[in-house]
């Protein structure tokens, strides 16, 4: 047992405020001395006692895995960080903001439930999984068997039957970016104002923890009223006028055999990196041989190839149109027949010249 000896007697009837304060101070000093003698104010120090206080880790509970308890090793400060990271750190800028005409590119995080998402895949992947709420819209449905574009009236019926209207804000994605750019070009050609290509694939969408599903979606039929914008589709006169730069997007073997005069070969894959459109600086290098102030016509026997190059040019602010090798071949055939008739020959069409221009 420990005894506390007081050197003075506390006068409970002290009338002086000064005396009262002095007495309290002396009593506190005596109490602290007593506690120190027991070793209670210094953990781990033994004061003549056989028992051990031990080493208690004050952060042990914070480091535990108890639900709702934040680890002491984590940064709990709220003055410099938010749930999205440091307050002073620059916000991530979407790639669309970096292109001269980036409004036609849609970032993953900016897609909302008010957007009409179209899955342009031409395989069976839609039935396995797709962006939540997306409609399946095969890009091949816009083409005839000979790979030519269907008439405007048929295109409008296809879109209307699927529940698409010209007022819908449309976002397009697919397994192959060229499928998406072709549908994008077609909708723009038909007069769709609010239409964009998703900046990423379904895998990117899933990696961003955004919602997806496997059920097939449908919409009530709509009335799609086209407003054709001819400036998106070049004609024979545009090509032969000499006023435009002409890019051939066909495979190089086809280009090497025959091509439109003065055309330049450009592989559409040059605008891609890991399945996505290249960034602004890379596209600047790809198109470095083209004049920015002169129109560009991209042609191919495949709308997908042509639309991919065309879309990249649009992103970079070029005035670009699409043309088809099939239309060129038709005009060359008509030209050959006219030449034969004028010559008064009853011989077959000059197949040598026809072949040299690449018609098959």
Whether 6 maps to a domain, the answer reads no
pLDDT score at 45: 38
Same domain, 217 and 112: yes
Whether 55 maps to a domain, the answer reads no
Whether 48 maps to a domain, the answer reads no
Same domain, 239 and 151: no
Joined tokens for residue 9: 């007697």
Same domain, 124 and 170: yes
Whether 69 maps to a domain, the answer reads no
Same domain, 114 and 215: yes
SS3 string, 42-103, reads CCCCCCCCCCCCCCCCCCCCCCCCCCCCCCCCCCCCCCCEECCEECCCCCCCCHHHHCCCHH
Please say which residue of 191, 207, 229 terminates a domain: 229
- The residue segments making up the domain with residue 221 are 96-229
Measured CA to CA, the distance from residue 309 to residue 249 in angstroms comes to 7
Question: Is residue 267 classed as helix, strand or coil in its secondary structure?
Answer: coil
pLDDT score at 123: 86
Whether 29 maps to a domain, the answer reads no
CATH of the domain at 312: 3.40.250.10
Same domain, 263 and 208: no
Tens-place pLDDT, residues 218-266:
999 999 999 999 999 999 999 999 999 999 999 999 999 999 999 999 9
Whether 261 maps to a domain, the answer reads yes
Please say which residue of 229, 257, 276 terminates a domain: 229
Q: How far is CA 182 from CA 75, 232, 236, 266, 343, in A?
A: 48, 12, 21, 17, 42
Whether 220 maps to a domain, the answer reads yes
pLDDT score at 78: 37
Same domain, 110 and 225: yes
Chunked into runs of 10 residues, the chain (360 residues) has average pLDDT values of: 45 46 52 49 40 33 28 34 51 88 96 95 91 94 94 97 96 96 98 97 95 95 96 96 97 96 96 96 97 97 97 98 96 68 42 31
Tens-place pLDDT, residues 176-204:
999 999 999 999 999 999 999 999 999 99
Same domain, 106 and 149: yes
Joined tokens for residue 143: 């083409």
Same domain, 224 and 261: no
Same domain, 176 and 239: no
Q: How far is CA 301 from CA 5, 322, 336, in A?
A: 108, 11, 21
How many distinct structural domains can be found in the chain? 2
Same domain, 260 and 299: yes
Whether 151 maps to a domain, the answer reads yes
Q: How far is CA 239 from CA 64, 117, 287, 291, 303, in A?
A: 73, 35, 19, 17, 17
pLDDT score at 337: 59
Same domain, 105 and 217: yes
Same domain, 257 and 168: no
Please say which residue of 229, 250, 272 terminates a domain: 229
């Amino acid at each position: 047992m420990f005894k506390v000896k007081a050197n003075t007697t506390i006068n409970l009837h002290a009338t002086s405020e000064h005396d009262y304060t002095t007495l309290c101070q002396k009593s506190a000093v005596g109490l602290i001395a007593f506690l120190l003698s027991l070793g209670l104010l210094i953990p781990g120090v033994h004061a003549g006692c056989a028992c051990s206080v031990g080493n208690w880790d004050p952060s042990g509970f914070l480091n535990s895995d108890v639900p709702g308890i934040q680890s002491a090793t984590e940064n709990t400060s709220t003055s410099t960080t938010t749930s999205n990271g440091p307050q002073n750190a620059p916000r991530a800028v979407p790639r669309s903001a970096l292109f001269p005409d980036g409004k036609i590119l849609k970032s993953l995080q900016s897609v909302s439930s008010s957007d009409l998402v179209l899955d342009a895949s031409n395989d069976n992947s839609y039935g396995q999984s797709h962006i939540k709420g997306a409609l399946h819209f095969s890009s091949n449905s816009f083409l005839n068997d000979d790979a030519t574009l269907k008439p405007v009236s048929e295109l409008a019926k296809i879109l209307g039957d699927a529940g698409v209207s010209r007022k819908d804000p449309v976002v397009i994605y697919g397994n192959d970016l060229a499928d998406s750019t072709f549908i994008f070009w077609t909708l723009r050609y038909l007069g769709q104002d609010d239409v964009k290509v998703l900046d990423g694939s379904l895998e990117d969408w899933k990696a961003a923890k955004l919602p997806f599903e496997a059920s097939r979606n449908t919409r009530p039929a709509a009335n799609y009223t086209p407003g054709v914008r001819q400036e998106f589709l070049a004609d024979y006169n545009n090509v032969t006028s000499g006023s435009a730069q002409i890019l051939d997007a066909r495979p190089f073997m086809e280009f090497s055999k025959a091509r439109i005069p003065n055309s330049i070969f450009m592989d559409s894959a040059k605008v891609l990196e890991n399945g996505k459109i290249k960034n602004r600086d890379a596209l600047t290098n790809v198109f470095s041989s083209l004049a920015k102030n002169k129109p560009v016509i991209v042609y191919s026997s495949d709308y997908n190839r042509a639309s991919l190059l065309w879309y990249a040019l649009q992103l970079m602010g070029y005035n670009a149109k699409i043309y088809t090798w099939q239309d060129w071949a038709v005009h060359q055939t008509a030209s050959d027949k006219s030449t034969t008739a004028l010559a008064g020959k009853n011989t077959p069409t000059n197949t040598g010249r026809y072949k040299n221009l690449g018609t098959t």
